[in-house]
């Protein structure tokens, strides 16, 4: 077959996504597939069984990253594509998994058409991209790219005190291969946009210039618990009221700092969480994002000072942890322009944009030329059970991925 006539099998891609959506399916139509959970294991096992059925070389590294390699000239660095199988607690049926299934569909299409590529082509599933159960996110690609220390990552615990490294062992995905980068000719990540831009623009393919800087921190407040009835309002050290004031400061931060910043408190625990006890311990998280790294750092410094003033005024002790930060990551111009051109050649409308969502591509771009391909999220929704993308758009994005990967895989 003429290479430019090659197309993916949209029905087969849909069937793969539907099969994966059953693993951890929630009553609300989403998925609950937290990193290193039994559901994550189930989806990993299914992915590996599909790879095994295609005579690919399968490697699982010590971080549980799963690679399926289709042969080419072993001397040449491969082209890699992939994303993540893990999901948010009440996540969507497309976030992450579309990029893993899209990569698998590309390999299936190349194999069934007996296309011999110069370079090997690798599909990858990165461990714990979401960072919801185990913070920080993107640890599989972070360790692989040399940016995160594997022992520090293994010691990260979930809310129940379970360690990441032990959970990886428990589900049988702590592989023997070193989780260390190798030369990669090009990395493409296919993903739902998770925002409203493509739908507003009426475009099918989004091509981000790169990914925002992301800063994660944890705030721990200690006050004084007491009986709510007899204790006067004056002089209370109410940890939850301190947190409430701080949370509103986070919400106001972007209008204060300007630019394209977003800032969110997504997680909070309140103890003892009893209606007739003044709260004495609160933990909450802060997520700050912008294209401008310095603005993000200044925003955190600003916030940290405000938090200390509030805690002192309310007589609470405060402990601040800067948990994780990744700088903004511009993608490879040649690859980005190649994806835009491929979308044009395939007849798909396309839009040059930026990604406010984090992806493993942030770390991959530190080790290899990298680009991403987005397709629209209906209603701009993601990280929710109603996350949705049309099958036609899924197929369109996979066709762009196919030809972007193929072009790079044929380069000498
Ligand atoms: O946080 C993010 O943007 C990604 O979903 N981990
Ligand atoms: Mn994702
Ligand atoms: Mn996500």
Looking up residue 11, the CATH number of its domain turns out to be 3.40.630.10
**Are both 115 and 204 inside the same structural domain?**
yes
Residue 74's pLDDT is 86
Query: What is the total count of domains within the chain?
Result: 2
User: 137 C-alpha to center of ligand 3: Å?
Assistant: 9
Do 64 and 169 lie in one domain? The reply is yes
Cα angle 328, 357, 400; round to 5: 100
Ligand 1, atom 6: closest residue by C-alpha: 130
What's the 372 CA to ligand 3 centre distance in angstroms? 15
Which of 283, 265, 166 has the alpha carbon at shortest distance from 221? 283
If asked whether residues 60 and 200 sit together in one domain, one would say yes
Same domain, 291 and 340: no
- Which of 326, 346, 379 represents a domain boundary (last residue)? 326
User: How does pLDDT run along the chain (412 residues), one tens digit per residue?
Assistant: 789 999 999 999 999 999 999 999 999 999 999 999 999 999 999 999 999 999 899 999 999 999 999 999 989 999 999 999 999 999 999 999 999 999 999 999 999 999 999 999 999 999 999 999 999 999 999 999 999 999 999 999 999 999 999 999 999 999 999 999 999 999 999 999 999 999 999 999 999 999 999 999 999 999 999 999 999 999 999 999 999 999 999 999 999 998 899 999 999 999 999 999 999 999 999 999 999 999 999 999 999 999 999 999 999 999 999 999 999 999 999 999 999 999 999 999 999 999 999 999 999 999 999 999 999 999 999 999 999 999 999 999 999 999 999 999 999 9
Pocket probe mutation, ligand 1, options 358, 363, 372, 382, max atoms within 8 Å of Cβ = 358
What pairs with residue 218 in β-bridges? 285, 321
* The two three-digit tokens of residue 74, written as one number: 């072993």
Report which of 283, 269, 404 is spatially closest to residue 334, judged by C-alpha positions: 404
Q: Could you tell me if 174 and 289 lie in one domain?
A: no
Q: Same domain, yes or no, for 181 and 251?
A: no
Cβ neighbours of residue 118 closer than 8 Å, sequence gap 6 or more: 72, 73, 76, 409, 410, 411, 412
387 touches 94 (CB < 8 A) = yes
Of 326, 353, 372, which residue constitutes the final position of a domain?
326
**Separation of 359 CA from ligand 1 center, angstroms?**
6
- What residue owns the CA closest to ligand 1's atom 4? 358
Assess whether 267 and 311 both reside in one domain.
Answer: yes
Q: Are residues 259 and 333 in the same domain?
A: no
Is residue 401 within 8 Å of residue 373, measured between CB atoms? yes
CA of 192 to the centre of ligand 3 (A): 9
Distances (CA, A) of 21 to 32, 39, 184, 246, 398: 9, 11, 30, 38, 18
Whose Cα sits closest to atom 1 in ligand 1?
358
Here the CATH number for the domain that contains residue 275 is 3.30.70.360
Which ligand minimizes its atom distance to the CA of 126? 2
- Tell me how far apart the alpha carbons of residues 95 and 384 are, in angstroms, rounded to a whole number: 10
Using a 10 angstrom Cβ sphere, with 0-12 exposed, 13-18 middle and 19 or more buried, the burial of residue 102 is: buried
Q: Between the CA atoms of 270, 271, 277 and 278, what dihedral angle is there, to the nearest 10 degrees?
A: -60
How far apart are the C-alpha atoms of 340 and 373, rounded to whole Å? 9
Answer yes or no: do 92 and 131 share one domain. Answer: yes
What is the position in ligand 1's atom list of the atom closest to the CA of 382?
Answer: 5
From 76, 87, 82, 93, select the one nearest 59 (Cα to Cα).
Answer: 82
Q: What separation in angstroms does the CA of 130 have from each of 91, 138, 260, 276, 297?
A: 10, 7, 22, 35, 22
pLDDT digits (tens, 9 = 90+) for 175-222: 999 999 999 999 999 999 999 999 999 999 999 999 999 999 999 999
Range of the domain at 230: 213-326
Which atom of ligand 1 sits closest to the CA of residue 287? Answer: 1
Distance (Å, whole) CA 350 – CA 338: 12
Last residue in a domain, options 326, 349, 366: 326
Domain check: are 100 and 50 in the same one?
A: yes
Q: Which residues surround ligand 3, an ion (CB under 5 A)?
A: 95
Distance 146 CA to ligand 2 centre (A): 20
pLDDT value, residue 400: 99
Q: Residues with beta carbon inside 6 Å of ligand 1?
A: 129-131, 137, 357-358
83 and 226 share one domain: no
Same domain for 294 and 348: no
CA angle 381, 384, 386 (to 5 degrees): 70
Whole-model pTM: value is 0.97
Cα 84 to ligand 3 centre (Å): 9
Q: What is the CA radius of gyration of the chain?
A: 22
Six token digits for residue 90: 């009440």
């Amino acid at each position: 077959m003429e290479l430019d006539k090659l197309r993916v099998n949209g029905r087969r891609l849909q069937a793969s996504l539907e099969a994966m959506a059953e693993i951890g399916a929630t009553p609300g139509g989403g998925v609950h597939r937290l990193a290193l959970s039994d559901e994550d294991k189930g989806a990993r096992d299914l992915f590996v069984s599909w790879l095994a059925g295609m005579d690919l070389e399968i490697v699982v590294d010590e971080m549980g990253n799963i690679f399926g390699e289709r042969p080419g000239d072993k001397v040449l660095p491969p082209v890699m594509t992939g994303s993540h199988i893990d999901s948010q607690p009440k996540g969507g049926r497309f976030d992450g998994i579309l990029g893993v299934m899209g990569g698998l569909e590309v390999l299936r299409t190349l194999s069934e058409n007996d296309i011999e590529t110069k370079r090997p082509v690798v599909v990858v599933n990165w461990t714990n991209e979401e960072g919801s159960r185990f913070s920080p996110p993107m640890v599989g690609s972070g360790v692989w790219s040399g940016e995160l220390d594997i022992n520090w990552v293994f010691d990260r615990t979930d809310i129940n005190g379970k360690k990441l490294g032990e959970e990886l062992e428990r589900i049988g995905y702590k592989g023997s291969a070193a989780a260390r980068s190798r030369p990669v000719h090009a990395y493409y990540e296919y993903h739902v946009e998770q925002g409203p831009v493509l739908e507003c623009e009426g475009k099918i393919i989004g091509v981000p210039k790169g990914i925002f800087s992301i800063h994660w921190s944890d705030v721990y407040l200690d006050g004084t618990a007491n009986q709510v009835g007899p204790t006067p309002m004056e002089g209370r050290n109410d940890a939850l009221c301190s947190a409430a004031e701080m949370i509103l400061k986070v919400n106001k931060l972007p209008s204060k700092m300007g630019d394209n910043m977003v800032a969110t408190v997504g997680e909070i625990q309140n103890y003892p969480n009893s209606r007739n006890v003044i709260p004495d311990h609160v933990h909450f998280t802060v997520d700050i994002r912008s294209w401008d790294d310095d603005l993000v750092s200044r925003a955190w410094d600003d916030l940290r000072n405000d938090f200390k003033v509030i805690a002192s005024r309310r007589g609470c002790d405060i402990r601040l942890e800067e948990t994780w930060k990744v700088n903004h990551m511009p993608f490879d111009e040649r690859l980005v322009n190649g994806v835009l051109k491929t979308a044009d050649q395939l007849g798909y409308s396309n839009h040059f944009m930026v990604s406010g969502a984090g992806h493993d591509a942030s770390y991959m771009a530190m080790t290899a030329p990298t680009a991403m391909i987005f397709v629209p999220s209906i209603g701009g929704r993601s990280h929710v059970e109603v996350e949705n993308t049309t099958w036609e758009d899924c197929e369109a994005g996979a066709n762009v991925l196919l030809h972007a990967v193929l072009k790079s895989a044929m380069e000498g």
